[in-house]
Amino acid sequence: MPDYFLDTSALAKHYHKENGSDFVDRLLEQAGSRSWISHLSIVEFESVLAIKTRTREIDPPALEVARRRFRADLAQQRLLVGPPFHEIHFHSARRLLSQYGVTDGLRTLDALQLAVALDLKQCGHVGVLVAADQRLCRVSALAGCPAVNPDTPGPLLV
């Protein structure tokens, strides 16, 4: 059973029903697997919730429910938080941007997320990156970490 690194784009689907939510829910409920996020995802998740509230996709009570569920998942370690960002992650993100920024459109925060995912993969903690971003999935696969998009879950990109 693989362990997963969830980018914020996939993580948010567990707390707000949308395309791909069922897939992410199944991953998080898989017996014997672990799901990892980065410290950056904790910050980005608040931004996602703010956007969804401003655009009225969710109302203020649903916002609070999502926040409470997320905090509970962290506290009960249903989601594991990867290592703090270190200089090596920034160097890795810079290398990823140098290699994939022009040709594949990799962006800064996605490069930082991918740097953490690759670090966790190298340590044996993660086997698959999950992101609702086809560009990030493609670059992840090119960089050596299989990826899947919960919006269009076909075979893993390897």
Q: What pLDDT score does 54 carry? A: 97
Q: What pLDDT score does 153 carry? A: 74
Residue 156 counted as domain residue: no
pLDDT tens, 108-129? 999 999 999 999 999 999 999 9
Contact 134, 149 (CB under 8 A): yes
The band of 155, judged by pLDDT with boundaries at 50, 70 and 90, is low
With tokens 């990799």, the residue in question is: 106
Residue 153 counted as domain residue: no
CA angle 86, 114, 1 (to 5 degrees): 110
Q: What's the pTM?
A: 0.92
Give the chain's length. 158
The band of 1, judged by pLDDT with boundaries at 50, 70 and 90, is low
CA separation for the pair 145, 134 (Å, rounded): 14
H-run or E-run covering 74: helix 60-75
The CATH number assigned to the domain holding 53 equals 3.40.50.1010
Residue 58 counted as domain residue: yes
Residue 85 counted as domain residue: yes
Residue 81 counted as domain residue: yes
Residue 23 counted as domain residue: yes
Residues 6+ apart with CB under 8 A from 94: 111
Range of the domain at 84: 4-148
For the chain, how far is it from start to end, CA to CA, in angstroms? 17
Q: What pLDDT score does 113 carry? A: 97
φ, ψ for residue 30 (rounded to 5)?
Answer: -65, 125
Tell me the average pLDDT of the chain. 94
pLDDT tens, 75-108? 999 999 999 999 999 999 999 999 999 999 999 9
- pLDDT for 8 beyond 80: yes
Sort residue 77 into left (φ over 0), alpha (ψ -120 to 50) or beta.
Answer: left
Residue 155 counted as domain residue: no
Q: What is the mean pLDDT of residues 35-51?
A: 97
Name the domain count of the chain.
1
Residue 158 counted as domain residue: no
